[in-house]
Structure 1
Amino acid sequence: MDKSWMGAYRTSETYVKGVAEFIKYAVRNYKISKHMDPADTKKKIRIPCPCVKCVNHICHSVDVVDDHLFRNGIDQTYTNWNKHGETEEPPRSYVYEHNFDMDTSNVVDSTNMNIEMPTDAAETLEMVEDVEENFIGNPDKFREPIEDAEKPLYTGCLNFTKLSAIIQLLNLKKGNEMYSSTYEAKKAFKAMGSGYTKIHACVNNCILYRKEYTDLVACPTCGKSRWKVDEQKNKIYNNIPAKCLWYFPIIPRFKRLFQSKTTTKYLAWHTTERMVDVGALSHPADSPAWAAIDDKYPDFASEPRNLRLGISADGVDVNRGNRSHSVWHVLTVIYNLPPWLCMKRKFIMLSLLILGTPRNDIDVFLALFVDDLQLLFDFGVETYDVYAQEHFKLHVVVLWTINDYPALGTLSGCPYNGFQGCVVCGEETHCIRLLE
């Protein structure tokens, strides 16, 4: 059979687009398998080449694979792309060479293919199409389900389509042990130490409505209402607080750290496995602040499981420049862990979330957090170590705080710019006015 048409087909727009889509598909799956950043274009990538000469036995760079596919053509037997990330259901071919008929009108148009189609799309689509064929009424009603059967659940989703996800959720509802309501799910999280306490606050940051102020409806200092007020309509929205604080209790979360054998072992890493290199700073344990705590509190230092913390606070503008809608957060960092875990997101604890800007009254909102830290430092809490299989008294200490200069001014209650702008010197700040 004359195959000269194949060379001409490899220069067609359909084949060119098909090769481009195949390369994109292969590179994406390679990055996923190697846990690479999808946006990383600097690292060299080598993938199996499916041309008729290499037949996936030789790996080349992307440019070489692209050249081979145009120069040699694709291996006709390679329909299940198991060398490039495909697992079960073979996708429709994106690079297709017609090898049984010179009429190229039957060649599959790769421009209509979607390489982002999830793995279960074919099965779900087949199910929907079977229903459509047996439906006697208006087949147009099935257009939307068919689209849903092909559409990924979200951008980049490789496992579920919009319709298959719904089917999975419906299956989960049958004879399972899942919680029947959001309330029950929240109770379960709270039992694991993942809950939070929501506390109303004075709109002017005077007090928190707790302890002796729990039942008040107005601030005893400034007289402002506890509830949201629409001053234009002169209306009070009862049960809608004017300001809130969310506190995520640290004590149950610290105790929960010691319920994992791996994590518990790492929490003593600074003593058991750290290599001490005199004169080098490779871990916070090498810092003067750490040494100062050891010297001043030898009982605290004698228990390597006692936690050394860093506290970071800052404001985040969440409403595109409208500072009245900003929030402040307080994060807790655990420095007992090895350097490669200290800054991992799962070990950085969100401790406080303050609605609005606290200004110099941030101490009002820090009260709950400081109380727990004081309790942990002075008295400790009974904690079970699952690795050592024993109970011990857990204590913590704050090594330092981490802030930018404006946040430092807020935390210290000092101005951070202008006259007396040094938070260290305070009123003794030496300043000279520069004349224009």
Structure 2
Amino acid sequence: MRTASNYAGEHGRIRCPCKNCNNVYVRQLSEVKKHLFLHGVLEDYSPWIHHGEPSQSLDQNEGDESCEEDGRDDQDENPYNDVAEMLDDLHRGTFANASLGEGASSNPPTVPEGEVAKFDRLLRDAKSELYPGCENYSKLSFLMKLLHLKTTYNCSNKYFNEQLKLFKDALPRGETLPKSYYEAKKLMRDLGLGYISIHACPNNCVLFWKEDKDLQQCPNPDCQASRWKHVPGKSKKVPQKVLRYLPIKPRLQRLFMSKKTAQDMRWHKEKLFQEENKIRHPADAKAWQHFDKEHEWFTRDPCNVRTWASKRRI
């Protein structure tokens, strides 16, 4: 444990290499020792790339030559690194309060069962092979890249479904891909990147939301358009227009979960270099500086978000 303890973070925690945690959960050293004793270490975990060892056992004389030949860094050697780091951020952000209360004697913070189930599904997909023997992708990492390509190139849902059918037919037996885009979208919801669908009047009069959520037609006397499309042969009602609302709170939480993006969110407070008569960032502008003077309590926190402040009408 000497190498692993030297590699521990500022809070004395490391990734747990036991068979249950699979280098995804981050725990205290004492807890890691307990897990290794109870569950045993991952049999295929060699070398210990998450605990200070290089991804390959290289002699000093061969190290530089091998790096030049491969042209790849340690992160490329393990294609699951980015997924493991993402789940680590998600775990820390979701269960941080509960982790702080683990040693408390009374009323430790609890995590909703739904959040635990979400994380368990993500962890299971992150450890699930895309197909038996696949070394380049897990089910989760492949789906994330596939959904990223769909968004980047603006592919239709129908095209995505046909693409999934093609992959499922081409991959070896035992592949773990979902059957449709609908199933793949559930993954995004578990990652905290989903949206809320709100039906709308086809003429943009109102949203069928809150006190109007049960209305079947527009309440505007000059409109009174039906909420639903008329689709012959379909028993399920189809709304005429749908607003997809992206909640700001979980997205801000997600930005602060990752140590990389969290640094960018605090840049205006910690790294901004101001030069007279030049505006390189909104924080250089008079409006931002006026806000700082009016609301000093809010400005003192480097994690403040100005759009949130304006919506709260501080």
TM norm. shorter chain > 0.5: no
Flag the structure with higher strand content.
1
TM-score after normalising by structure 1:
0.30
Flag the structure with higher helix content.
2
TM-score after normalising by structure 2:
0.41
Look at both structures and tell me which one has the larger radius of gyration over its CA atoms.
1
